[in-house]
Amino acid sequence: MTVARGVRIDVRRALAIAVMGLAGAVGTLVLMLWLAGSTSLVEVKLGDADFRGMDAARLSAEIADNGPVPFPDLAGRERPLWLTHAGDDPSTGWAAFFATVPPTSDGQTCLARWDGASSVFVDSCDPTTTWPPDGHGLAQLDWQVVDGELRVAVSGTRPADWEARP
């Protein structure tokens, strides 16, 4: 009587193929990572060129009641910003600026924090250094109110779809 045999697996050959496949996958991954990091042709831009979608009237009322509004940097570039408003007209009187303080001589990064009692921004590393409520002296950002919506140019340049300056 004949005995049926199942599929014979050559363990050495199977291991050799698995190791070669794994080595090929790792090699391909390393090559792709090296190529991705070795060129300046690709410019990574995370996030939008401007920060928009804020109701100017509502935000100006919030600022009048509670003081300037901080916004963290959601793109991870460590560039939080402050928004302030002066006056009664929500279409004018805005100030937008980065909350980071110019680097100190030892390279320490500090933030401007709002001191409501004295109505000034204070250096978190040196409380004797202050800025006025409009942030004059800190890195200012362009802003614009369009149809009641406040827009802030966080990229440093005015986006193409903004209205021309008056």
- Evaluate whether residue 105 is within a structural domain: yes
Q: What pLDDT is recorded for position 134?
A: 93
Per-residue pLDDT reduced to its tens digit, 98-155: 998 877 677 778 899 999 999 999 998 888 999 999 999 998 988 989 889 898 887 7
Q: Where are the alpha helices (DSSP H) in 38-153?
A: 56-66
Is 108 contained in some domain? yes
User: Considering only CA atoms, which of 125, 129, 80 is closest in space to residue 106?
Assistant: 125
Instruction: Determine, yes or no, domain membership for 140.
Output: yes
Closest by alpha carbon to 101, among 78, 85, 67? 78
List the domain range (segments joined by +) for residue 95.
51-152
Report pLDDT for 4: 66
The answer to the question of residue 63 being in a domain is: yes
pLDDT above 70 for 46: no
Could you report how far apart the first and last alpha carbons of the chain are, in Å? 100
Instruction: Return the bridge partners of 136, or none.
Output: 138
pLDDT at 23: 92
150 vs 52, more confident: 150
pLDDT value, residue 155: 72
Report whether pLDDT(43) > 90. Answer: no
Asked if residue 42 belongs to a domain, the reply is no
Quick check: 51 pLDDT over 70?
yes
More confident of the two residues 44 and 164:
164
Residue 30 lies in a domain: no
Query: What is the tally of structural domains in the chain?
Result: 1
Kindly state whether residue 23 falls inside one of the protein's structural domains.
Answer: no
Residue predicted with more confidence, 44 or 126: 126
Range with the poorest average pLDDT among 6-10, 147-151, 162-166: 162-166
Residue 117 lies in a domain: yes
Average pLDDT, stretch 17-36? 87
pLDDT at 76: 62
| Strand pairing class (51-55; 112-115) | unpaired
Which of 83-87, 131-135, 144-148, 156-160 shows the lowest per-residue confidence on average (mean pLDDT)?
Answer: 156-160
State the sign of the Cα–Cα–Cα–Cα dihedral 86, 154, 100, 136: negative
